[in-house]
Amino acid sequence: MNQALLTRLFKSIEGEENSSLIKVAYSIIENEKGRGHVNLANKLNSILLEKLANKSTDYKPTLKVAREIDFKVPLDRRYRLPLATHIENDSLRHDMVLFSEVESKILRIEKEYLARERLAHHGLKPRKKILLYGSSGCGKSMAAEKIAWDLGLPFYKVRFDSIISSYLGESASNLQKLFESINEFPCVLLLDEFDIIGKQRNVNSNDVGEIHRIVNILLGLLEEYNGEGILIATTNLEGTIDKALFRRFDDFIELPKPTEKEIAELLKISFSALKLSPKINLKEFAQRMIGMSYAIVVKIANDAAKKAIIHSKTEISIEDLDKSLEENEAINK
């Protein structure tokens, strides 16, 4: 049942707290929570509590379900800064143009997560620890957001500025605290630019003591993690990551730069709400953009669109797109 129908159903519920109907409603909330639909479970729980509160002025809600699905991001001990940032579901980027092979691997992760209970009956586990690697701007972070969006899971991004401390041992302690906090909480946790904390332990002899501590803690945390959510690490410097950490991931997915086909599709999507001059041949422009990242291709399209809008043009001209492409070629040389 989709979100809109469930919301309408809960708004029509009438009954006492201990009635069979209310018990069924709480079971639905628990089921949605178990499927990782925490935002929906929170919404349904709030509707139900409001209905019960309006039923009787003496009613004091237990908030049982609300407490179970509530999650507070842990703070670092010294400065009381959050160790992760929550990104609302509505803000997650999920429309992507991907290689078919990459798309099928992401779909496999999602299918295994949804089938985790069936897999468990056969002694199998879904892929929960994923490493995405590739050039900068090729959609690694966006792919993590897409997975959260597709599965309806809350999305959190680790704040390494809070995790990493100059005080001996605090970085490792912060990491441990964060992993412990999400163990029973279904979510997608993104460790963006994972190489910050996952460096090979012999890369920098000046910091080897602290690097050893952090990597050793990470090895244990990744090895033991069997939580309710999905951990996704990203890097464009996979060669600098400690080799022992690689073995702790369930899957490795490379996100390469787009080919001519993906670039043309991306340009088509980027210009879908705008009128293009008939002189523009997107395939020819895609050929000129081979070797660029997804992010740069989108930037070129957006720059061309802004030029046209600022000058009150009714369509994007070939000159607008040419100029935007030339500017970005110069920046990326």
The Cα–Cα gap between 265 and 97 comes to 7
The Cα–Cα gap between 264 and 241 comes to 33
Tell whether 96 and 219 lie within a shared domain: yes
Cα-based angle 182, 177, 202 (whole degrees, multiple of 5)? 110
Quick check: is 134 in a domain? yes
Tell whether 209 and 94 lie within a shared domain: yes
Question: Of the residues 254, 289, 307, which one is the last residue of a structural domain?
Answer: 254
Return the half-sphere exposure (C-beta side, CA atoms, 13 A cut-off) of residue 124.
10
CATH number of residue 307's parent domain: 1.10.8.60
Counted domains in the chain: 3
Tell whether 193 and 313 lie within a shared domain: no
Tell whether 278 and 223 lie within a shared domain: no
Tell whether 244 and 283 lie within a shared domain: no
Tell whether 108 and 27 lie within a shared domain: no
Average pLDDT along the chain, 333 residues, taken 10 residues at a time:
76 74 80 74 75 53 41 86 91 89 94 90 95 93 94 91 80 90 91 83 56 84 92 88 88 94 93 90 94 94 93 92 88 61
Quick check: is 202 in a domain? yes
First-to-last alpha carbon distance for the chain, in angstroms, is 51
Task: State which residues form the domain around 100.
Answer: 84-254
The per-residue pLDDT for 61 is 41
Quick check: is 246 in a domain? yes
Tell whether 236 and 264 lie within a shared domain: no
Full-prediction pTM beyond 0.85?
no
Tell whether 45 and 174 lie within a shared domain: no
Question: Of the residues 69, 104, 122, which one is the last residue of a structural domain?
Answer: 69
The per-residue pLDDT for 67 is 36
Q: Which amino acid is at 176?
A: Q
Residue of 174, 175, 256, 190 whose CA lies nearest to 229: 190
Quick check: is 91 in a domain? yes
- The three-state secondary structure class of 203 is coil
The per-residue pLDDT for 52 is 67
Tell whether 249 and 264 lie within a shared domain: no
The per-residue pLDDT for 296 is 94
Question: Of the residues 221, 238, 254, which one is the last residue of a structural domain?
Answer: 254
